[in-house]
Structure 1
Amino acid sequence: MQNEIPKISCFVITLNEGRYLDEVLESVRGVDEIVVVDSGSTDDTLEIAKRHGARIIHNDWPGYSKQKAFALEQCTHNWVINLDGDEVLPPGGFEMIQQRIAQGDINGIWVAHDDIFMGHSLRAARHHKYRRVYRKDKAHMNTAVLVHEHIEVEPPLAELPIRFKHYGYDSAHGYMDKLNTYSLLKAKQREEQGRGCSLPRLLLIYPLMFLKFYLGRQMIWSGWRGFIKANIDAFHFFLTEAKLYEREYRRKRGDDISRSEG
């Protein structure tokens, strides 16, 4: 006897995500509920969400993890899929998720990204896995994290051979803009944790992280695009250390740190 497929909510946090949102929401066609939590879009994000029957909720931006925690609480079904406004399930992916959770023996599913960089896939690279499908009653969002939300899901979890198409890193310019913001948030988070700048780390972080991404994450197999992205990813870690150093340096000199960060 085939197990009944549980009802599923899909939640997305948005701010001017009109470029890809139609494709994102189309990829979960058939989901029982779409929840879009928006923090003030001025493009066509809300019109696109309405076309897909989403329940739209405005919430002023409190930070990445807190916004996702808020969106999660708005979902009425226990099983949820969390997509960003630039993440698209592959054809058949939603049906595979439905069939897997219908077996009733897991609390979540690991998925990987298929990053689009410079207009094309970095599929040859080995991508980090994310918990993006899970049961609400078995999950906990760590809202102390300022960037790149962290969700804990009680085991067991399964993996599926699907990759989200991820447009968020498409252009070098746009990617660097994001990492400039992320690095400042990570620097502030490190300070809150009592972890200041380490000069050996400042010196070594760039080459070590480049090797991690270029060889360990196998970006070497994506040609010059992989070489460029590995350098950008490594620079992100260096930039975090540089901003930590700057904040400590300015503080010792009595400078107004907030003015230096715009």
Structure 2
Amino acid sequence: MINASVYAIVQNEEKHIERMLKSVADFAEIIIVDSGSTDKTLEIAQKFNAKIHHHDWQGEGVQKNYAFSLCSHEWVLNLDGDEEVSPELKAEICEFMGQSEFDGLDIKFHEFYMGGIVDDRVRKNTHIRFFRKSSGEYRNLGVHAQVSINGKVRKSRGVIYHFSDKPIKELVSKNNNYSSLRAQQKFEKGKKPSLAKLLFIFPLVFFKSYFLRRSFFDGKKGFIIAVINAFYAFMKEAKLYEIWLNKKGN
């Protein structure tokens, strides 16, 4: 038994959640915070003795912070319903808990999308997902909430597999919603639209995604994802400009 808590926020994840739960079945505690699943998500979670809580959706940051608060162990691991802990990472976590120098693991993500695994030469995203509970805090409760660690963080050797198999239609729809939220957050922080950003954010993000992150190794799929990433960045700036225009109109 691994003496740590796993926490996940979910909704309608019957396609993936069993894979995730199997990968952490030997953790001492599994916390599931559901925001209204209508499929078999909760039925599957019950098979793994997960502690299930309902919490109406209030944004990713609020949901994660609530799930995090329910964990009872010193060490915690945050997962999404469509993720899976690799055996190598699990062994690394067991070793990591026995040391006292570091308080968090910055974990590499290996992506699956558009029907297959991303080429291993594509640079992987990393996120702090395993950490000492007393050292972690969610400071930004908005879109794409990230935990902040008061302590030292080490890069992981093992990976989390992310089965991001959403069709392009769904991915673009999600980015459309997120870009609206991010633009509103920028406006509330007093950030103003910039012609330079409107002109250059798309090519800069495309260059970063396609060349610096080496998405070109993934062929046509890498090109498509780089364009989607660039368009998402552009939409945030365009919508910020629209908000300021409407404000001036009032």
TM-score, normalized by the shorter chain, greater than 0.5: yes
- Residues 35, 57 of structure 2: 8 Å contact kept: yes
With the length of structure 1 as denominator, give the TM-score of the two structures. 0.90
- Residues 168, 175 of structure 1: 8 Å contact kept: no
Distance in 1 (CA, whole Å) between partners of 2:2 and 2:116 is: 35
| SS of 2:208 mapped into structure 1 | helix
1:117 paired with 2:113, answer yes
Unpaired segments ≥5 residues, structure 1: 255-262
Q: Return the offset for 1:155.
A: 2.5
Distance in 1 (CA, whole Å) between partners of 2:197 and 2:155 is: 34
Q: 1:22 aligns with which of 1, 18, 24?
A: 18
- Residues 6, 79 of structure 1: 8 Å contact kept: no
Q: 2:135 aligns with which of 131, 135, 138?
A: 138
Task: Identify the residue that residue 257 of structure 1 maps to in structure 2.
Answer: none
1:228-253 alpha-carbon deviations (Å, 9 max, x no partner): 11111111100111111222223333
- Residues 32, 67 of structure 2: 8 Å contact kept: yes
Percentage of identical aligned residues: 36
Distance in 1 (CA, whole Å) between partners of 2:224 and 2:178 is: 19
1:16-70 alpha-carbon deviations (Å, 9 max, x no partner): 1111001011111200000001111111111111111100011111211111111
Task: Identify the residue that residue 67 of structure 1 maps to in structure 2.
Answer: 63
Task: Identify the residue that residue 224 of structure 2 maps to in structure 1.
Answer: 228
- Residues 2, 28 of structure 2: 8 Å contact kept: no
Q: Which amino acid aligns with 1:197?
A: P
| SS of 1:82 mapped into structure 2 | strand
Task: Identify the residue that residue 258 of structure 1 maps to in structure 2.
Answer: none
Distance in 2 (CA, whole Å) between partners of 1:36 and 1:6 is: 18
Distance in 1 (CA, whole Å) between partners of 2:144 and 2:201 is: 20
CA RMSD of aligned residues (A): 1.6
Query: Any residues of structure 2 matched to 1:72-151 within 5 Å, and which?
Result: 72-122=68-118, 123-143=120-140, 145-151=141-147
Q: Return the offset for 1:6.
A: 6.8
Q: Which amino acid aligns with 2:104?
A: G
Task: Identify the residue that residue 170 of structure 2 maps to in structure 1.
Answer: 174
| SS of 2:15 mapped into structure 1 | helix
Distance in 1 (CA, whole Å) between partners of 2:241 and 2:155 is: 40
| SS of 2:130 mapped into structure 1 | strand
Q: Return the offset for 1:170.
A: 4.2
Q: 64-73 or 172-181, which moves further after superposition?
A: 172-181
Distance in 2 (CA, whole Å) between partners of 1:81 and 1:160 is: 13
Q: Return the offset for 1:90.
A: 1.7
Distance in 2 (CA, whole Å) between partners of 1:185 and 1:146 is: 8
1:139-166 alpha-carbon deviations (Å, 9 max, x no partner): 11114x4111021112322222222111
Distance in 2 (CA, whole Å) between partners of 1:131 and 1:169 is: 22
Q: Does the C-alpha gap of structure 1 residues 169 and 205 become closer, same or farther in structure 2, counting only changes over 3 Å? A: farther
- Residues 116, 170 of structure 1: 8 Å contact kept: no
Q: 1:55 aligns with which of 51, 55, 60?
A: 51
Q: Which runs of 4+ in 1 moved over 6 A?
A: none
Task: Identify the residue that residue 187 of structure 1 maps to in structure 2.
Answer: 183
- Residues 88, 159 of structure 2: 8 Å contact kept: no
| SS of 2:138 mapped into structure 1 | strand
